[in-house]
Amino acid sequence: MHSDKLGLDTLAIHAGQEPDPTHAAVMQPIVMASTFAQAEPGKPKLFEYSRSGNPTRQALESCLAALEGGTHGFAFASGSAATLTLLHTLKPGDHIVSGDDVYGGTFRLFDKVLKPMGVNTTFVDLRQPERLESAITPQTRLVWMETPTNPMLKLFDIEAIAARCKTHGIPLAVDNTFASPVIQQPLKLGAAIVVHSTTKYINGHSDVVGGALITSDDAIAERVGFYQNAIGGVPSPFDCYMVLRGIKTLPVRMRHQAQSAEILARRLEGRKGVKTVHYPGLESHPDHALAKRQMRLPGAMVSVDLAANVDQAKRFLSALRIFTLAESLGGVESLAEHPAIMTHASIPKETRDAIGIGDGLVRLSVGLEDVEDLWADLEGAFAAAAL
Ligand code: P1T
């Protein structure tokens, strides 16, 4: 299949998934074998051992690579395993520049896992791409960013930052979890590596934890492939099947969820009890012009600064009936959470305050329910919190 000629809706259903040659089954078989028979010692046929490679995982990896417009895909047991595998390609003394707003667990990897191993990270607000230069040192070996960021939904200009990275010979890794390839394909804008928590939009049904790395750089792919096998943070064939199944509806889900998110964001913006709505599709968003240029859709995540103290924010969240109060995002069901207490608790309070993750900040992941039911649910929560 010449994936560069096909649309994303087609790739989501077919990429990496030829009918199985034995039974002509339309769906990928789940090959649960941990190991594969060899005709003579050291001469495996196609696969050798399922940590190194597995047919169901290979189908998923090819599909992910095609969706991101890359040539190499690697699947992992979680987004964090994908991130850590990439970070393991660095060595003591190396340095990372990261966008200042990242998932709390990613911050924890930089701060509590990499730092003790001698790899330091400098966090910068990359909304001014020129700030990259002031953070780069002769030891910098990786630039890392999310866009939109978790949870403030700030945007960074992938093309501008990738161009600067190229002049310094430093690879740019973009965590594309919040956008998904339906909205933006960072490799096409010059990034060297795309990172995903496939737990989120890619799988889309809140029933798998998974991750991925995608690249078109053969040298990076070789190192990532080595570390994927050596470290072994790989997904089970069953989980790979589940993610492949979820991907088939990714473009449809993403479009519908973004449409509902925009409706809710616009209503929230005008409502009493709301200080700020962070949503790239709103004209009031500081990076709205970049959103229009860089993103096909503004996404389905909305962060809301309520005019609330922490108790009111807790009452607001506890009163929701259709939005489920839970960590994670990107599933068909709507979720709501309190970043300061939940997903970003591992970030020190001073750092959270500097980024804007305050007591009144609530993050919404808008799902596929009827948008009027979602609005009524939010109205009920405002009433319960006396907002
Ligand atoms: O949870 P895991 O599959 O390990 O993925 C980690 C991860 C990586 N990158 C981004 C942008 C993420 O949002 C996440 C996980 N985030 C949540 C669980 C959350 O609720 O924000």
Tell me: the pLDDT tens digits for 34-86?
A: 999 999 998 999 999 999 999 999 999 999 999 999 999 999 999 999 999 99
Could you tell me which of 112, 167, 120 has the C-alpha nearest to residue 139?
Answer: 120
Go through the chain and tell me how many residues it has.
387
Two tokens, residue 235:
């997904």
Claim to verify: residue 17 and residue 149 sit in the same structural domain: yes
Helices (H), the chain: 8-14, 55-67, 79-87, 104-108, 131-135, 158-168, 218-231, 237-247, 250-269, 288-294, 310-319, 349-355, 371-384
Same domain, 258 and 165: no
| Mutation choice for ligand 1 from 85, 197, 334, CB with most ligand atoms inside 8 A | 197
Residue pair 90/118 in contact by the 8 Å Cβ criterion: no
Among 215, 231, 247, residue at a domain's last position = 247
Answer yes or no: do 188 and 336 share one domain.
no
User: Is residue 89 domain-shared with residue 72, that is, in the same domain?
Assistant: yes
Percent of the chain with pLDDT over 70: 99
Candidates 320, 345, 344; CA nearest to 334 is 320
Mean pLDDT of 216-245: 98
Q: Is 45 a catalytic residue?
A: no
Q: Which residues contact 275 (CB under 8 A, 6 or more apart)?
A: 305, 306, 307, 360
Longest Cα–Cα distance in the chain: 73
Question: How many other CB atoms are there within 10 angstroms of residue 276's CB atom?
Answer: 18
209 and 343 both lie in a single domain? no
Query: What's the CA gap between 208 and 240, in Å, rounded?
Result: 9
Report d(CA 29, CA 26) in Å as an integer: 9
Of 247, 264, 290, the residue at which a domain comes to its end is 247
Based on the domain organization, do 210 and 117 belong to the same domain?
A: yes
Ligand 1 binding pocket (C-beta < 6 A) is 78-80, 103, 105-106, 146, 150, 175, 177-178, 197, 199, 209, 211, 327-329, 343
Nearest to 151 by CA among 7, 338, 17: 338
* Chain mean position to CA 118: 26
3-state secondary structure of 294: helix
Query: Based on the domain organization, do 164 and 215 belong to the same domain?
Result: yes
Distance in angstroms between the alpha carbons of the first and the last residue of the chain: 54
Residues 76 and 52 both lie in one domain: yes
Residues 157 and 278 in one domain: no
Q: Which atom of ligand 1 is nearest to the CA of 342?
A: 20
pLDDT-based confidence at 21, cuts 50/70/90?
confident
Domain end point (choices 199, 220, 247) = 247
Model pLDDT for residues 355-369, shown as the tens digit of each residue: 999 999 999 999 999
- Tell me, what CATH number does 8's domain have? 3.40.640.10
DSSP 215: E
Helix/strand/coil for 155:
coil
pLDDT of residue 3: 64
Residue type, 300: A
Does residue 227 surpass a pLDDT of 70?
yes
Q: Please tell me whether residues 168 and 289 are part of one structural domain.
A: no
Question: How far is C-alpha 45 from the geometric centre of its chain's CA atoms?
Answer: 34
Domain of residue 9: give its range. Answer: 3-247
By the 8 A CB rule, do 108 and 132 touch? no
Distance, in Å, from the CA atom of 276 to the CA atom of 142, rounded to the nearest integer, reads 33
Burial 222-234 (b: 16+ CB within 10 A, else e): eebbebbeeeebb
Provide the total of helices (H) and of strands (E) in the chain, helices listed first: 13, 14
Cα(301) to ligand 1 centroid in Å equals: 13
Quote the tokens at residue 6: 């096909």
**To the nearest whole percent, how much of the chain has pLDDT over 90?**
96
Mutate which of 199, 206, 242, 364 to test ligand 1's pocket (most atoms within 8 Å of Cβ)?
199
pLDDT in tens, 153-181: 999 999 999 999 999 999 999 999 999 99
- Asked about 292 being catalytic, the answer comes back as no
CA of 79 to the centre of ligand 1 (A): 6
What is the tally of structural domains in the chain? 2
| Distance in Å, CA 153 to ligand 1 centroid | 14
Question: Given a cut of 70, is residue 140 above it in pLDDT?
Answer: yes
Active site residue 103: yes
Q: Exactly one of 9, 51, 188, 248 is catalytic; which is it?
A: 51
Tell me which residue has its CA closest to atom 13 in ligand 1: 103
- Looking at residue 198, its amino acid is T
Q: Within this chain, do residues 286 and 241 fall inside the same structural domain, yes or no?
A: no
Q: Which residues pair with 121 in a beta bridge?
A: 96
Instruction: Supply the DSSP string of 37-74, one letter for each residue.
Output: -EEETTEESS-SBTTT--HHHHHHHHHHHHHTT-SEEE
Q: Are 238 and 273 in the same domain?
A: no
The average confidence (pLDDT) of the chain is 97
Report the alpha-carbon distance of residue 215 to residue 193 in Å, rounded.
5
Cα dihedral sign, 127-128-130-133: negative
Query: For 185-217, how does the pLDDT look when each residue is reduced to its tens digit (9 = 90+)?
Result: 999 999 999 999 999 999 999 999 999 999 999
